[in-house]
């Protein structure tokens, strides 16, 4: 299969580039030369953290490090400085590659290598010395971040080769490439030598859309929430993608139909993937959910079964396991990864109906009910709380809380109820990122408890 630089060198088309909001990088240059200078050799065989300020820097770091470093740890954009030391320990990190000086990295006591423009030629013999491990962060875990171990071969397992002579692709994504959904698109672009337009969290949607249009995006991916946001700009006509891809959240029929209306000429597909289980499948018939026969199908690279209502996947594209000593097993004894996504079969079609344990997906960001409940329960007036998903046509779901008060009479008067609600919400907003704070709070007389003594989430 070869390392990423070798695959890029074989595929890179003349003129193909990675386009950032304020810089660009030629794929031919990226394949041909290193931006690590004399530092490159010091990273050979090491476990290296790639923590960059920009997505284009992250893409360069991945090409530099695959085949060179023993282990590449891809820091997501929201990895908090306070978690760095623990990540370094868990993943056994020995060096850091970045694209700009960063004070938080200086305190780690590790060599920090800063990427420059590619300039030092890398010979074919000098690349691809080993099969690097790729460590990615799972999304939305409570407390310390968790990492899973992938390989380039597994990460690119769902990518089909393109026919020779096919017209050039220009990829775009609303995802960050340091997350699984975005990385899938980056690897599609790099292994096919195609251009790709990268975004920036601080870039206004309309400006990103202008760049996508001006650079002629042909293939565009994002979560359903990303796509709804695009539809709300009223500027969808600025782009004319031939392929529209949704992943990362449940793609409902409304968003699929809206995209078909906005881009009548485009093929519209939704993919199921997770950082742990890899790319499961892709659906291209324009309907929500997925066909019944996908489950239990043998002989393909990906096998799926449904057990206790949740989708399980056995696949060479799945992560090899969690990083760190004493990490829990990722797969069961038969090699199936439990995705935690609950599905129901109806009229020959499997449909997603939320997450086990009530994990809430707010616009692609996962929220564990327990972490929100813990904050609410610290409020002096609260006896217990149950946090659940509330369906939203905009972000898929929102966080909603049912709260039982220590003194139910405290919320009898409307003014008192409003004041209590405001006070609970203020506590949540002070302690949690805004998407985790409840969008609505309802006062209830009591909360049901299961026979096992736990909050009854199924009937909350």
Partner 1 sequence: MTEMTIAAEGSGADAARLVQAQGGAAGSVRDAVVLQFHQAAANQEKNLHPLSDELVLLECGLDSLCFAIIVAELDDALGLDPFSDADEVFFPVTFGDFVALYEAAAAKAGR
Q: Which residues bind partner 1 (CB under 8 A)?
A: 204-206, 225, 228-229, 231-234, 254-255, 257-258, 362-363, 390-395, 398, 414-415, 417-418, 421-422, 425, 429, 434-435, 439-441
Q: Which residue has the tokens 């996504």?
A: 341
Q: Which is nearer to partner 1, 150 or 388 (CB)?
A: 388
Euclidean distance between CA atoms 105 and 16, whole angstroms: 32
| 171, 176, 182, 187: CA torsion to nearest 10 | 70
Sign of CA pseudo-dihedral 42, 43, 44, 47: positive
Q: Which is nearer to partner 1, 231 or 320 (CB)?
A: 231
Q: Which is nearer to partner 1, 249 or 276 (CB)?
A: 249
State the nearest-atom distance from the C-beta of 328 to partner 1, in Å.
31
State the nearest-atom distance from the C-beta of 209 to partner 1, in Å.
10
Q: Which is nearer to partner 1, 322 or 443 (CB)?
A: 443
Q: Which is nearer to partner 1, 374 or 439 (CB)?
A: 439
Q: Which is nearer to partner 1, 7 or 421 (CB)?
A: 421
Euclidean distance between CA atoms 318 and 279, whole angstroms: 8
State the nearest-atom distance from the C-beta of 429 to partner 1, in Å.
7
Distances (CA, A) of 134 to 125, 154, 294: 22, 10, 28
**CA angle (427 as vertex; 423, 430 as ends), nearest 5:** 135
Q: Which is nearer to partner 1, 122 or 239 (CB)?
A: 239
Distances (CA, A) of 172 to 30, 166, 190, 227: 19, 18, 12, 13
State the nearest-atom distance from the C-beta of 427 to partner 1, in Å.
13
Q: Tell me if 38 sits within 8 A of 62, measured CB to CB.
A: no
State the nearest-atom distance from the C-beta of 394 to partner 1, in Å.
4
Q: Which residues of 236-271 are buried (b: 16+ CB within 10 A; e: fewer)?
A: bebbebebbbbbbbbbbeebbebbeebbeebebbbb
State the nearest-atom distance from the C-beta of 410 to partner 1, in Å.
15
State the nearest-atom distance from the C-beta of 233 to partner 1, in Å.
5
Whole-angstrom Cα Rg for the chain: 23
Sign of CA pseudo-dihedral 191, 193, 194, 195: positive
């Amino acid at each position: 299969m070869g390392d990423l630089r070798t695959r890029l060198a074989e595929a890179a088309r003349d003129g193909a580039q990675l386009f950032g909001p304020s810089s660009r990088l030629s794929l031919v240059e990226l394949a041909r030369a290193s931006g690590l200078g004399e530092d490159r050799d010091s990273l050979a065989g090491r476990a290296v953290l790639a923590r960059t300020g920009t997505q284009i820097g992250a893409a360069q770091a991945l090409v530099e490090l695959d085949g060179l470093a023993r282990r590449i740890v891809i820091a997501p954009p929201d990895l908090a400085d306070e978690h760095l030391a623990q990540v370094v320990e868990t993943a056994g990190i020995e060096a850091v590659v970045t694209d700009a000086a960063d004070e938080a990295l200086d305190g780690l006591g590790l060599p920090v290598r800063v990427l420059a423009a590619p300039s030092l030629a890398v010979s074919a013999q000098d690349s691809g010395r080993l099969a690097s491990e790729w460590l990615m962060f799972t999304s939305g875990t409570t407390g310390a971040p968790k990492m899973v171990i992938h390989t380039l071969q597994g990460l690119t397992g769902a990518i089909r080769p393109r026919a020779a002579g096919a017209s050039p692709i220009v990829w775009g994504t609303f995802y960050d490439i340091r997350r699984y959904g975005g990385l899938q698109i980056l690897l599609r672009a790099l292994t096919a030598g195609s251009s790709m337009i990268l975004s920036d969290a601080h870039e206004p949607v309309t400006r990103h859309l202008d760049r996508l249009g001006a650079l002629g995006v042909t293939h565009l991916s994002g979560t359903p929430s990303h796509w709804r946001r695009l539809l709300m700009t009223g500027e969808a006509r600025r782009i004319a993608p031939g392929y529209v891809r949704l992943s990362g959240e449940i793609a409902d029929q409304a968003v699929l139909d809206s995209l078909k209306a906005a881009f009548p000429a485009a093929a519209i597909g939704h993919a199921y993937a997770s950082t742990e289980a890899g790319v499961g499948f892709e659906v291209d018939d324009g309907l929500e959910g997925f066909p019944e026969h996908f489950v239990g199908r043998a002989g393909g690279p990906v096998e799926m079964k449904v057990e206790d209502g949740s989708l399980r996947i056995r696949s060479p594209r799945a992560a090899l396991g969690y990083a760190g000593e004493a990490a829990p097993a990722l797969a069961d004894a038969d090699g199936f990864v439990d995705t935690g996504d609950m599905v129901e079969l109806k009229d020959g079609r499997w449909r997603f109906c939320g997450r086990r344990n009530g994990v809430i997906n707010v616009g692609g960001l996962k929220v564990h009910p327990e972490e929100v409940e813990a904050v609410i329960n610290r409020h002096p007036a609260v006896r217990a709380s149950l946090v659940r998903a509330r369906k939203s046509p905009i972000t898929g779901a929102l966080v909603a809380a049912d709260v039982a008060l220590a003194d139910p009479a405290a919320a009898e008067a409307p003014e008192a109820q409003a004041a209590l609600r405001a006070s609970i919400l203020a506590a949540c907003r002070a302690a949690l990122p805004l998407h985790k704070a409840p969008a609505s709070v309802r006062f209830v007389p009591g909360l049901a408890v299961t026979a096992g003594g736990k909050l009854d989430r199924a009937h909350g």
